[in-house]
Chain A
Amino acid sequence: MTTTQASGQPVLQLTGIGKEFGAIRALHGVDMHVMPGEVVGLMGDNGAGKSTLVKIIAGNFRPTHGEIRFDGNAVHFHRPIDARAVGIEVVYQDLALADNLTAAANVFLGRELKRKYGPISLLDHKAMASRALELFGELRSETRPHDLVKQMSGGQRQAVAIARTRLSNAKLVMMDEPTAAISVRQVEQVLSLIHRLKEQGVAVMLISHRMPDVFAVCDRVVVMRRGEKRADKPIANTSPEEVTALITGAKEAA
């Protein structure tokens, strides 16, 4: 995975992405790229087009205009599972967990481990539980694989949602407000997880409102406003004040 980093080819490249919902232009001419092992912060006010962009990359929507290249190849996602197949994982803001299932069941939802018993294959509960426990251990989350998500704290839920992305060899992980509803200690955990992903050459796109989090982990920040990209700067060359100005429109572009 470190070899791709050296090659200098972006893992994700967007060219001229636009999206219209009827008469509403949600996105217009967005170009951006993400390198392997890079953490990019995506910022913008509500309605700026962040979520639409994320949903296009994740395969929920198809772009009206433009091209997506992943790992150098042009890709067309019809469903989220297509995006997942090439190595794009998303942690959704509402976490997309089924409350009535256990932590392990949620981690493996849609890609359950199975064992063959003759012609029928049944769930391999043991393997899923132990792998889930391993993942929770990596995330330093005190989460029992057999507990129901219904009974869990916000941080534990977050851990379950993030653990899900770690199952596959994801090349790009997008996190939609991962630190919005959790405690200070758990924010630290999530940020350290982002560092770990980065160390392994996984690209991370962090969608967040929390300026300190973005400045703590991101290499680069992209600011969206009114459906367009207004700024794309290395974090070292900008400041929270400038980003705030870009988000609110006090500063048009940078």
Chain B
Amino acid sequence: MSVPMETPISFTNVGRTKWWQRGIFASQTGYVLAALVVLMIIMHFASPYFFTQGNMQNVAKNFSFIAIATLGITFVIITGGIDLSVGSMMCFSAMITSMVMVELSAPGSPFVHMAADGKTVLANVPGLILVISVLAGLGAALVVGLVNGFCIAMLGLSPFVTTLGMLSIVRGLAYVVSNGRGSFPGGPDADYFYALTSGDVLGVPAPFIYLVILAAVMAVVLHHSSFGRHVFALGGNEKAAELTGISVVRVKIEVYVICALAAGLQGIIISGWLGSAPANMATSYELNVIAAAVIGGANLAGGIGGPLGAIVGCVLLEVIRNGLVLAQVNSYWQQTLVGVIIILAVLVDRIRSRMT
């Protein structure tokens, strides 16, 4: 089938793109990362507390609290979609997890037995209750993700409207199941739960470790698997993706499921840190998550984004918040500044792409 080449191909007319105009150097992620480094250096000189171990742990923990969900929504944003139900999803998953945990830990449940004093319950198999309740929370997220994906990919509804509706539905369900009161993780496995969500390993907060692992997995999936390739293709040219035989419907459903699962996991982790899953938990977090993704370079028009950008966006938001606190600036300024940064980041990207 292949035709022998008469002469090897030469590139007389087509130059190679310069290294600083390729890859990360030419991306929004690249210069937002540079801005972040500059900001951290300024912070170091502005406040002696910034680079202390305690503060760094704090920063790492705080940005990890939205970063996992940001990784998830980055998948959706790369395909050119959006998921507004992230905040509600965090709350609902956390609530289901802690309610199942409490339910399974009640006296009389087959998963527990009474201690000698007749009051304290002990787990029959340590950790089993925790595993089941976390799976229940993630299961709820899976269902919501499937419904989102079904409505968007199969029924062809707009992602914005579908997930806006889902934002309300899921938040409503969280109020319904808890009767508006919220829920507290409890029972014999609660200690494991707190250790796994708000504990740390050698001074590194647990959520940060999950984040690093998930980001690494995401990088491999996005850039070295055919699924990741199809996610980018969908965002670049959905019609082309369809014509080349990619199952667009399947990829779309998958990204919404991934996003919902990431949000669910994020919610479970946050509830461990809070010690409870109140019904108004993570309200409007979807905006922080989307803001972080966009600042980090994910393009809402689709086709661009990645785990590094998601994390850089989250870190930048947290460093600014932290910096304003350390600088004793009125913390109400934070939100205003975040808005300015979103617009600045996108503006700089626009100017850069006009210049080249």
**Which A residues are closer than 8 A to B by beta carbons?**
60, 79-81, 84, 90, 92, 94-101, 105, 109-112, 114, 120-123, 125, 133-134, 136-138, 140-144, 147, 151, 156, 164, 166, 169, 196, 200
Contact = CB atoms under 8 A, between A and B. Distances in A.
Contacts of A141: 9
A58 B17 CA distance: 36
B232 A101 contact: yes
A80 B5 contact: no
Contacts of A134: 2, 5
Given A96-B237, A123-B229, A137-B8, A144 B14 contact: yes
Contacts of A105: 229, 232-233
> Binding site of A, secondary structure by majority: helix, strand, loop or mixed?
loop
A80 B243 contact: yes
8 contacts: A96-B244, A97-B237, A98-B303, A109-B233, A110-B245, A138-B3, A151-B17, A169-B1
Contact of A196 (B3, B229, B233): B3
A98 B12 contact: no
Given A134-B2, A147-B17, A80 B303 contact: no
Given A97-B240, A98-B232, A100-B303, A122 B224 contact: yes
Given A79-B245, A97-B237, 9 more contacts: A60-B243, A84-B245, A98-B236, A101-B236, A109-B229, A123-B226, A136-B9, A147-B17, A200-B3
Contacts of A81: 245
Given A101-B229, A169-B1, A109 B9 contact: no
A96 B12 CA distance: 27
B246 interface: yes
A143 B14 contact: yes
B10 to A, nearest CB: 7
Nearest to B13: A142
Q: Which 4 A-B pairs have the closest CB atoms?
A: A98-B236, A81-B245, A100-B303, A96-B240
B220 interface: yes
A147 B13 CA distance: 14
Interface of B: 1-3, 5, 8-14, 16-17, 220, 223-226, 229-230, 232-233, 235-237, 239-246, 303-304
Contacts of B243: 60, 80, 90, 92, 96
Contacts of B303: 98-100
B229 A112 contact: yes
A109 B11 contact: no
B244 A100 contact: no
A138 B240 contact: no
B240 A98 contact: yes
A200 B244 CA distance: 24
Nearest to A108: B229
Given A109-B246, A110-B245, A98 B233 contact: yes
B133 to A, nearest CB: 29
A121 to B, nearest CB: 8
A13 B10 CA distance: 41
A197 to B, nearest CB: 9
Contacts of A121: 225
A112 B229 CA distance: 9
A98 B237 contact: yes
Contact of B14 (A100, A133, A142, A164): A142
Contacts of A94: 239
B78 to A, nearest CB: 9
A60 B244 CA distance: 11
B310 to A, nearest CB: 17
B10 A142 contact: yes
B183 to A, nearest CB: 37
A136 B226 CA distance: 22
A136 B8 CA distance: 10
A80 B241 CA distance: 11
B278 to A, nearest CB: 39
Contact of B11 (A95, A125, A144, A196): A144
A123 B225 contact: yes
Given A111-B245, A142-B10, A123 B2 contact: no
A101 B229 CA distance: 8
